[in-house]
Structure 1
């Protein structure tokens, strides 16, 4: 499956490589960037964990990150020659496995935190000068996300094997990528860091809970690898 996905995503680039990086390449999509508005979609992968701060010194909660999946749409508004404003709503599915070292009972030490986010990012894209059919770029901005798997409304907590998080979270995002102008479409791989700006943990009902009692803040952080098509 991984080999198939690699071939699916990168075969257009490999096939076009000779023409794209030759001395006098054929210029594809020459007037593409003059459009006021254009649309696209993306799919990709993510790896998220938690940054945890504590009220008192203790052993760190161990976070086991897994590889998740991203998919979404792209709306691009051209502001100037090198600047674009982007709205990229998407679905982010991920899982983090938390191990609490201070809990002796094996069954209670592990919490599998499955999260399904709907992201609403608003990003500013700065593109460098286009060279042939290649144009690198930087991007950054803010986003808000709805966690459909938060368990925020559940009366149960970790004493009932229920880990709870806030429904809404705000993030800031920074990243870079490259636009590759192929004959029929624009292919754009990118990598992006995402960092939560607010505490996402909902504490257990017991203030002395061994899971949440000593946690000051728990914030999501990680990265996305996206493959965009326009």
Structure 2
């Protein structure tokens, strides 16, 4: 379903862009929504498809076996939607607040059975009782519902007939509603825990198209978490999971369709 939605968004954007190009070829055509960008405030909504993955920094002791990475991730596609509030600063700069809801599911694979060699411990690492990892122990399917609140500064060029290019960048405050951060259970009970409150930075580029009744903006946005999302397992849990990962950070590429 997610792959179908992503393909539908891409096809819709291509179709709209082709139609827009055709109507912009007439050089004597009047500009549409001529006063739209002069408003101090404006509103809209957006739909988006995502490609999400994790950036992983492994612990040299528990996350690596010589040159082999013991923890890997599989990316996935997902979707989201949100609202747009624009505040005009001048002819070339806008501030945008675009709160949205993003749905994601990713997978982490822990091939960490080889950490049994550390069972006797040392002064820096406690001893533990090894267990035989099953498929449920090795694979974590991580579902996330993210409340994403980006604040973006948008720089746009001059309008050319009924189109205008722009770039934008800003910061995000992101709440993971399925983080399990307050759970007493951990990976030993097949519960993966991550941080609830997160911060990220985003960069975006796109082209705004003006129609008779609305403005349509297809855009590409990259969002990259700045904080470490990994919550450590309980002290008595063997080092097969969180101990193998020093840093875990979400990164996402988003295809966005905005309607204003």
* Shared fold, TM over 0.5: yes
Summarize the alignment of residues 1-230 of structure 1 with structure 2, pairs less than 5 Å apart.
11-56=15-60, 58=64, 59-103=69-113, 105-206=134-235, 208-230=238-260
SS of match in other structure, 2:243: coil
Q: What is the distance in 1 between the residues matched to 2:12 and 2:222?
A: 25
The worse-fitting range, judged by mean Cα deviation, of 97-106 and 58-67 is: 97-106
Q: What is the distance in 1 between the residues matched to 2:204 and 2:16?
A: 23
Indicate conservation of the 8 Å contact 1:70/1:226, yes or no: no
Q: What is the distance in 1 between the residues matched to 2:166 and 2:12?
A: 23
Structure 1 gaps, min length 5: none
Q: What is the distance in 1 between the residues matched to 2:182 and 2:45?
A: 33
Task: Kindly report the root-mean-square deviation, in angstroms, between the aligned alpha carbons of the 2 structures.
Answer: 1.9
* Deviation, structure 1 residue 205: 0.5
SS of match in other structure, 1:72: strand
* Deviation, structure 1 residue 9: 5.1
Q: What is the distance in 2 between the residues matched to 1:156 and 1:48?
A: 26
CA deviations 1:162-211 (Å, max 9, x no partner) are 00011000000011011001121100011111111100111110364201
Indicate conservation of the 8 Å contact 1:42/1:226, yes or no: yes
Which of structures 1 and 2 has the bigger CA Rg? Answer: 2
Structure 2 gaps, min length 5: 114-132
Q: What is the distance in 1 between the residues matched to 2:186 and 2:71?
A: 18
Q: What is the distance in 1 between the residues matched to 2:174 and 2:189?
A: 26
Structure 1's 195 and 188: CA in aligned 2 closer, same or farther, altered over 3 A? same
Q: What is the distance in 2 between the residues matched to 1:69 and 1:199?
A: 23
Q: TM-score, normalised by structure 2?
A: 0.83
* Deviation, structure 1 residue 7: 6.0
SS of match in other structure, 2:252: strand
Q: TM-score, normalised by structure 1?
A: 0.93
